[in-house]
Amino acid sequence: MVSSHDIIEVITTKRDAGTLSDSQIDWVVDAYTRGAVADEQMSALAMAILLNGMDRTEIARWTGAMIASGERMDFSSLSRRTSDKHSTGGVGDKITLPLAPLVAACGVAVPQLSGRGLGHTGGTLDKLESIPGWRASLSNAEMMAQLESVGAVICAAGDGLAPADKKLYALRDVTGTVEAIPLIASSIMSKKIAEGTGALVLDVKVGTGAFMKSVEKAQELARTMVALGTDAGVRTVALLTDMSTPLGLTAGNAVEVAESVEVLAGGGPADVVELTVALAREMLLAAGVDDVDPADRLADGSAMDVWRAMIAAQGGDPDAALPVAREQHVVAAPRSGVLTRLDAMAVGVAAWRLGAGRERKEDPVQAGAGVVWHARPGDRVEAGAPLFTLHTDTPERFERALAALEGGYDVGDGPHEPAPLVIDRIS
């Protein structure tokens, strides 16, 4: 039986930079999930955690309490090992789409529970829902059957998995406490540990388009999550990857699906291919598989075969035409030269304002909305040639999207030194 506490006592302990006891943490997470602690009280506690932090013991206990609020999945009955990946969110980050079928094509099952976009970061489920007929919601039995037959599934987390997190995540989003590292780490890891995967690779984004703007903050988050996974018996590794420049050449929903299919067909932008293969290698290694090169599975078409089977298994038509926005607006290069900077946040906000993302979790998204850029930093551009194409069904959105892009890129004369895509590895 969870001991009873007073919510004011819990808030003031953390407000005064104290350490919460195990029983305080167990009680407050359980009480909030049941509705015995009000949103405004949990908001105050979340802000105190943001300002004063938590130590490793507190974060581990908080994560455990979130897991205990719901069910745990078990993939031990599958005929192959499992490995999963989680990205902390970025712009143009369609990596999950080619990655899950690629790893499955290498013999490791991928149970990818994904989410929807909020604000400037895109959501994997929103992207896949632009494919006619595809559905995000699967029962646990359907998920297990698809993992056994296809090897990969990308779907929504069920309501039974860490319900405390679902409630707290929505609250953090509207109270300015999203950036609290203990709460980010416990949110991600409670779902991933409860999901029951044997191995986990974390893609921790850092830069202007990420929640973590500095390498130091990203390293702190990565170390916290790797420790949580390791303590829970999940083989966990993190890559810090650059999100100052958006990934690939597209940000949106259907436009990112189209780009992902290009990668699976053996083409696509070099940075998307590089990161997909790097994460696939880490996922395979974490699952104990080191005799397959994922680059070969992209080249021989087997990853594409798994993609088609995965989409079809969830009701989608892999051959169907993807939605196209009704309206386009082209932004021309202001001068000839080299594109020296393309800011991920500017592009993400523009795509969001065009209708690719949402301000509140219940908002609809437009399947065809988004931004396509026709050059990446380091590429030469000519004055008057298309630099961006903006897509939306509602042309009144163009003005605010253009305002977001203003000042978000530079065209210069000199050579461009590209930043490394993978900045650090933490295990």
Identity of the residue numbered 361: K
Distance CA 173, CA 377 (A): 32
Identity of the residue numbered 368: G
The end-to-end CA distance of the chain, in Å, is: 36
Distance CA 178, CA 160 (A): 23
Q: What letter would DSSP give residue 4?
A: P
Which residues lie across from 212 on neighbouring strands?
206
Token digits for 12? 């003031």
Q: What is the 3-state secondary structure (H, E, C) of 360-400?
A: CCCCCCCCCCEEEECCCCCCEECCCCEEEEEEECCHHHHHH
The residue to which tokens 């974390």 are assigned:
202
Helix (H, G, I), strand (E, B) or coil at 352: helix
Distance CA 89, CA 204 (A): 8
Q: What letter would DSSP give residue 333?
A: -
The residue to which tokens 């970025």 are assigned:
90
The residue to which tokens 């938590």 are assigned:
54
Distance CA 274, CA 269 (A): 9
Q: What letter would DSSP give residue 369?
A: -
Helices (H), 287-397: 294-299, 302-313, 344-351
Looking at the annotation, which residues are catalytic?
A: 86, 165, 172, 187, 191
Helices (H), 16-139: 22-34, 39-52, 56-68, 96-105, 124-128
